[in-house]
Copies of this chain bind each other. A is one copy, B any other.
């Protein structure tokens, strides 16, 4: 999903498109990984003049409400990943925290309606991406 589309989504919901938001949003989208608010703030600082941490928190809140950010709880830390609005699942690399979207879905929502009404579901896969897998093998080969 490209920036322009998100801008119009924000606009629809009466959120203003400030320069700060555009900067944070761009950084967030381009990172391709899950980040804590503080980490996202750090990334923004590296590439642009700093934006306040409060602003980062507030944008994440807005995006989450709009379904454009998804929180992950890993080891007690809350991370967020940018997220298009089409239903999909996530694969998260436990090493580098990169996130890959998985658009296949077995549409199991209706499968479990004996428990009640299922409004939505999420599925998260955790593991190691190919890149980190390779690195880990290299590291292991250095061991005695």
Contacts and interface: CB of A to CB of B under 8 A. Distances in A.
A119 interface: yes
Given A73-B78, A78-B73, A123-B123, A116 B102 contact: no
A115 interface: yes
Interface stretch (A28-36, A48-56, A126-134): A126-134
B117 A128 contact: yes
Contacts of A128: 116-117, 119
A72 B122 CA distance: 12
Contacts of A59: none
A120 B125 CA distance: 6
A128 to B, nearest CB: 5
